Amino acid sequence: MRIKNGFVLRDVAGQTMVVATGEASKSFHGIIKLNPTAKDVWLWLSEGKNEDEIAALVCGKYDVAEEQAKADVGAMLRKMEEAGFLAD
Amino acid sequence: MGSEALDSFVIKIAGKNVRISTRFPDTAMKYMKDYIVPEDSFDIDAVVSDGELRDIMSELSAENAALGEITNLYRPIAEKMPFYDSVVFHGAAVEYGGRGYVFTAPSGTGKSTHIALWQKYVGDVKIINGDKPILKAYDDKTLVCSTPWAGKEHWQRNVSRRLCGICLMCRSGEDNKSSIERIVPKDALDFLLNQTYIPQNPESLVATLGVLDRILKVVPVYKLTCDISKDAVKCSFEALTGEKLD
């Protein structure tokens, strides 16, 4: 699982935004806003980390229980998949 | 029809040369006369394609074809401006004391009315552009530059001024009291994105976000809730300029 090529992350006035260019722009137009946790998940995913590794990283960085981290990361990844942001 | 078959001339806006290709040269040159430069080289090529004009024309009568083409010529320019640290912005820009201020709000909120009241009650207020100024980001400042595209009143003067405040406008409710507060840029983002030209071209959109970030680092943003009154002018004028209005 990886993020499709072409998504570009930009911080505007402290708000993280994602825009699709190139390959990714064929399936998505517009601007995605990410909160700080979502930004971390996005960046870890683009570094090639898998779902379990990302959940462990979220657990370590933020004060959340392992179960909660797994559920939240899973939910975000499913959302990204449904939106067409991910490739195999 | 390719742009080679059309008449063309060059205008300069926000420091960039733009070649305008048009089917209606007399009307277009009259509309843009304050911006025409006697040069051949250009950075941006602006033309409305036959297909685009057909789409516009389906909503307009034949005599409005010239105006239809002219009002849509800003789009190819707005698509390219982000690559030159600039964005086309929807707002009414005024000059006071050599400084520029932009009022922004969805159409119909009363931007034109508010800047007309600034002229009436403050005096020595000059219009920069009534509808589509360009904001150009530098490291330490932002300029607000006029364009020929200036709304139905066509209020514009070909000048650029240092932008010293962006004012988001909302109509006040039942109590009709005017108020203004400085807001953190992050809270203004959604509003500002709605008032900024959002390019179709993805790379240009990425560049647009970069330009907005640079602008918001140096220009203060205010939120004005107002009615149509001298009190509303006093409110925005004193907050934006730091001066008193009697």
Helix (H) or strand (E) holding A19: strand A15-20
Residues B96 and B218 in one domain: yes
Average pLDDT over residues B21-36: 96
Using the Cβ of A5 and the Cβ atoms of chain B, whether some distance falls under 8 Å is answered with no
pLDDT digits (tens, 9 = 90+) for B136-183: 999 999 999 999 999 888 999 999 999 999 999 999 877 778 999 999
pLDDT score for B92: 97
Domain final position from B72, B104, B123: B72
Taking CB atoms and an 8 Å limit, are A31 and B205 in contact across chains?
yes
CATH code, domain carrying B201: 3.90.228.20
pLDDT score for A29: 84
pLDDT digits (tens, 9 = 90+) for B56-87: 877 766 668 888 999 999 999 999 999 999 99
E strands present in B69-189: 86-88, 92-96, 99-104, 125-129, 134-137, 142-145, 160-171, 179-183
- The parts of chain A modelled with pLDDT lower than 50 are none
A14 vs B contacts (CB less than 8 Å): 185-186
Taking CB atoms and an 8 Å limit, are B209 and A17 in contact across chains?
yes
Q: Which residues contact B94 (CB under 8 A, 6 or more apart)?
A: B100, B101, B103, B115, B118, B119, B125, B126, B127, B128
Taking CB atoms and an 8 Å limit, are B189 and A15 in contact across chains?
yes
Residue B201 lies in a domain: yes
Question: What ipTM does the predicted assembly reach?
Answer: 0.86
Binning pLDDT at 50, 70 and 90, where does residue B4 land? low
Candidate from A10, A13, A25 with C-beta closest to B216: A13
A22 vs B contacts (CB less than 8 Å): 202
Candidate from A12, A20, A25 with C-beta closest to B209: A12
Residues B44 and B93 in one domain: no
B216 vs A contacts (CB less than 8 Å): 12-13
Taking CB atoms and an 8 Å limit, are A13 and B189 in contact across chains?
yes
Residue B158 lies in a domain: yes
pLDDT score for B217: 96
Residues B20 and B138 in one domain: no
Residue B209 has pLDDT above 90, yes or no: yes
Superfamily, domain A2-87: Coenzyme PQQ synthesis protein D (PqqD) (1.10.10.1150)
Residues B114 and B145 in one domain: yes
For B212, name the nearest residue in chain A, comparing CA atoms only: A12
Residues B139 and B211 in one domain: yes
Question: Judging by DSSP bridges, how do beta strands B160-171 and B142-145 pair with one another?
Answer: antiparallel
Residues B9 and B39 in one domain: yes
A15 vs B contacts (CB less than 8 Å): 186, 189
Residue B79 lies in a domain: no
A11 vs B contacts (CB less than 8 Å): 213
Domain final position from B46, B72, B98: B72
A25 vs B contacts (CB less than 8 Å): 202
Residues B99 and B141 in one domain: yes
pLDDT score for A22: 87
Interface of A with B in 20-39 (CB under 8 A): 20-22, 25, 31
pLDDT score for B60: 67
pLDDT score for A26: 84
Mean confidence (pLDDT) of chain B: 94
Higher pLDDT, A25 or B238: B238
Residue B167 lies in a domain: yes
For A33, name the nearest residue in chain B, comparing CA atoms only: B190
Residue boundaries of the structural domains of chain A? 2-87
Q: Which residues contact B182 (CB under 8 A, 6 or more apart)?
A: B220, B221, B222, B239
Q: Which residues contact B242 (CB under 8 A, 6 or more apart)?
A: none
Candidate from B184, B203, B212 with C-beta closest to A12: B212
- Count up the domains in chain B and report the number: 2
Domain final position from B13, B44, B72: B72
pLDDT score for B152: 85
Neighbours of B203 (CB within 10 A): 15
Neighbours of A87 (CB within 10 A): 12
Interface of B with A in 170-189 (CB under 8 A): 184-186, 188-189
Range of the domain at B16: 3-72
Candidate from A10, A13, A15 with C-beta closest to B206: A10
Neighbours of A68 (CB within 10 A): 13
Residue B80 lies in a domain: no
pLDDT score for A53: 96
Taking CB atoms and an 8 Å limit, are A13 and B202 in contact across chains?
no
Whether pTM > 0.90 for this model: the answer is yes
Candidate from A14, A15, A19 with C-beta closest to B205: A19
pLDDT score for A79: 93
pLDDT score for B1: 47
Residue B2 has pLDDT above 80, yes or no: no
